[in-house]
Structure 1
Amino acid sequence: MRYIVIGAGAVGGTIGARLFQGGHEVVLIARGAHYEALKRDGLRLLTPDSTETLPVPAADGPVPTRDGDVLIVATKSQDTVAALAPWSSDLPVVCAQNGVANERMALRRFERVYGMCVWLPAQIPAPGTIAAHAYPYSGMLHVGRYPQGVDELGEQIVTDLGKHGLVAHASDDVMRWKYLKLLGNLGNAVEALVGHAPGMAELAESARAEARTVLDRAGIAYHTPEEEAAVRGHKVDARPIEGVERGGGSSWQSLARGSGSIEADYLNGEIVLIGREHGVPAPVNETLRREANRVARERLAPGSMTPEQVRALIDARSASGSR
């Protein structure tokens, strides 16, 4: 079985590297300077206890496919449709992404779709280099067929992922894990907007509390942090890597790169959408969604706002009664 990783950034590159180390055939799909470095020098994987350069094949676009290929898409959610468009719909797709919308987007074209809930702190400190900060394993991954169930292929994917440097679990209701992860990711926009200023944690918890109300009203099930802690233990604790300054989360990194886009529509915006469908206002998440998109569009640096500025916008939206 060959794994084609579409979007071989920090998360996708780490998964691809660990699969390659486990003896599997892997192709990394990347672009720009990152692709050029991967093609020229291989993938340089930094972890808290090792540095390795791996000769993983890389491409900057679709490659000829064959029976037995598995697509792992690890792009940001706003890029999912475009990223999957060139690929054969006969192939199975694993959505190794934040948010809960990607699987449904993929299912419009692909019959076999698998959700993957990813806990994997990593970043790209330089083109061709990935720093995977978790220890003793680089990440913990829950995998299941979408919308639910575990089949033979899903079991094989879990086995392959668990061969080297990753912890993988088969889940017959993987979206419960992904909704829990969504709750955690609602703080991404907060971190991107205000950095780690005093008041950041309170803003993030406001977004999560509002989201729990929305999900509960909609009857959407999600695992609890206690269940996560019991499964996770200390298998993927973030640790420093010598010579690498750890930056923020994925949304923070989007602003730091000046990419012009951010994932907030599929994180905070998902809560807004569900709230609108069920008549539950979500002014905190709507404000975070709007402001995160604005700062990304204007290519402002992470931490460009203060918590007080964001809170004032939330209060104004709440007072207006807007959903």
Structure 2
Amino acid sequence: MKVCIYGCGAIGSLIAARLVRGGAEVSVIARGPHLQAIRSDGLSLVSPDGGETLNVSVAASDDPNDLGEQDVVFLTLKSHMLADIADSIIPMLGTETMVVTACNGIPWWYFHGTEEFACPELASVDPGRHLWNTIGPERAIGCVVYTAASVVSPGVVRHVFGDRFAIGEPDGRRSERIQLLAELMRSGGFEIDVDMNIRVPIWIKLVANVAYNPVSLITGKALDAMIDDEATNGLLTAAMQEATAVADSLNINVPVSPEYLHTATRKLGAHKTSMLQDFEAGRSLELEPIVGAVIELAHMHGVATPSLDMIYRLAANKTSDGGKGDNSKIH
């Protein structure tokens, strides 16, 4: 199978290196110094304990036209960047190409394959339905990432922890292609859960992200400090409860409580969320697909989200848009 990793950052590099080791034909879309290093020296993956380094050669480019049609494309960019690359991905897409959305937040294909809901435009995720109309929801495969990695230097990525991914068809079928994808990823040593309702793990992760990510941005605190502070903990819990209510309105039962999430997350210690790390590095933030999308869905289904509304506005005030968040989302 021809596989392309579109967005070869930390997670994308981890997937690429492990799939090459498993025997797949892998290419990557990358940019800048990371791209140059991969071209000249290959892609290196350092094990969590630092004791092993896997170096692989992959075809690398910043132009999808160079790589051609693929069997599988993993989208491993930040969710808010997807609309900008929708047109460029077209040369990679055949009629049977799987597009695996290994991104945070509500995916642009969310309402595809559901019978109980119409397919509304989600402006916070896919304005103008550009991704829907360009990539096509029929190509989409849902994916939830439970692993972490970091870029050590251009061309070198360290696997921090975890090998687990959840994947699933939007319509819940245990299709032939989802089985092929699971086999592909398992060949790279990943632990793969084929989920018959991929929206459940999407929401479990989102309930955590919609609280921890923006509140860490607002407070500047790491996970342990937020959870240990009584007032901040209360705000996190309220945000999670509101997000769970939004999921309920979409007939999704989130089977974990805020208390469970706090206990599990506290074990990560003084870890900074990805949103806080992006902010400190001057990068754009995933505020819309993570927080804005939940608020947008809440509006559609008449769910009150006062804590999330406040968190969204405070977080928007700290972003590079000078606080010009989309206030139409606020009740």
Instruction: Please give the TM-score of this superposition, normalised by the length of structure 1.
Output: 0.79
Residues 65, 125 of structure 1: CA spacing in aligned structure 2 closer, same or farther, 3 A cutoff?
A: closer
Could you list the per-position Cα deviations for residues 258-277 of structure 1 after superposition, in whole angstroms to 9, with x for gaps in the alignment?
11x21111111122111111
Aligned length: 284
Unaligned runs of 5+ in 1: 241-245, 301-316
- What secondary structure, in the 3-state scheme, does the structure 2 residue paired with 1:133 have? strand
| Aligned positions of 1:77-92 closer than 5 A | 77-88=79-90, 89-90=93-94, 91-92=97-98
CA contact (8 A) 2:4 2:70 kept: no
For the aligned residues, what is the CA RMSD?
Answer: 2.8
CA contact (8 A) 1:73 1:95 kept: yes
Q: Note if contact 1:149-1:172 (Cα within 8 Å) is conserved in structure 2.
A: yes
- Name the SS for the 1:86 alignment partner: coil
Task: Name the residue aligned to 2:320.
Answer: 297
Q: Which residue in the other structure is 2:13 paired with?
A: 13
CA contact (8 A) 2:103 2:144 kept: yes
The answer to whether the Cα contact below 8 Å between 2:101 and 2:107 also exists between their aligned partners in 1 is: no
* 2:241 paired residue number: 209
Match of residue 55 from structure 2: 53
- Per-residue displacement from partner, 1:72-114 (whole Å, max 9, x unpaired)? 1011111112223212343321101111233355443323211
- How much identity, in percent, do the aligned residues show? 26
Per the alignment, residue 265 of structure 1 pairs with 288
- Report the Cα distance in structure 2 between the residues aligned to 1:181 and 1:220, rounded to whole angstroms: 16
- Structure-to-structure mapping, 1:80-229, within 5 angstroms: 80-88=82-90, 89-90=93-94, 91-104=97-110, 105=126, 106-109=131-134, 110=136, 111-134=138-161, 138-186=162-210, 187-194=212-219, 195-196=221-222, 197-198=225-226, 199=229, 200-216=232-248, 218-225=249-256
Question: Is the contact between residue 8 and residue 29 of structure 2 (CA under 8 Å) also seen in structure 1?
Answer: yes
Matches of 1:6 and 1:284, distance apart in 2: 35
Q: In 2, Cα distance between the equivalents of 1:203 and 1:40?
A: 48
1:1-53 CA distance string (max 9 Å, x none): 11111111111111111111111011111112222222222222122232222
Equivalent of residue 278 in structure 1, options 271, 280, 301: 301
Distance in 2, matches of 1:201 and 1:184, equals 12
Q: Is the 8 A contact 2:17 2:54 kept in 1?
A: no
1:154-180, CA deviations, whole angstroms, 9 ceiling, x for partnerless residues? 111111101233111212211121111
Q: Kindly tell me: are residues 28 and 202 of structure 1, through their superposed partners in 2, closer, same or farther at Cα, counting changes over 3 Å? A: farther
Letter in 2 for 1:219: L
Which residue identity is paired with 1:32? G
The more displaced of 279-288 and 262-271 is 279-288
User: 2:319 is paired with a residue of what secondary structure?
Assistant: helix
Q: Which runs of 5+ in 2 are unaligned?
A: 111-125
Q: Residue 22 of structure 2 contacts residue 188 of structure 2 at CA under 8 Å; is this kept in 1?
A: yes
Which residue of structure 1 aligns with residue 272 of structure 2? Answer: 248
> Greater CA deviation, 169-178 or 99-108?
99-108
1:61-72 mapped onto 2 (5 Å cutoff) = 61-64=63-66, 69-72=71-74
Secondary structure of the residue aligned to 1:141 is strand
TM-score, scaled relative to structure 2: 0.77
Q: Which amino acid aligns with 1:101?
A: P
CA deviations 1:181-237 (Å, max 9, x no partner) are 111211111223322245344432221112112222x133144239xx9xxxx9xxx
CA distance in structure 1 between the aligned counterparts of 2:252 and 2:303, rounded to whole angstroms:
17
In the aligned structure 1, how far is the partner of 2:55 from the partner of 2:234? Answer: 41
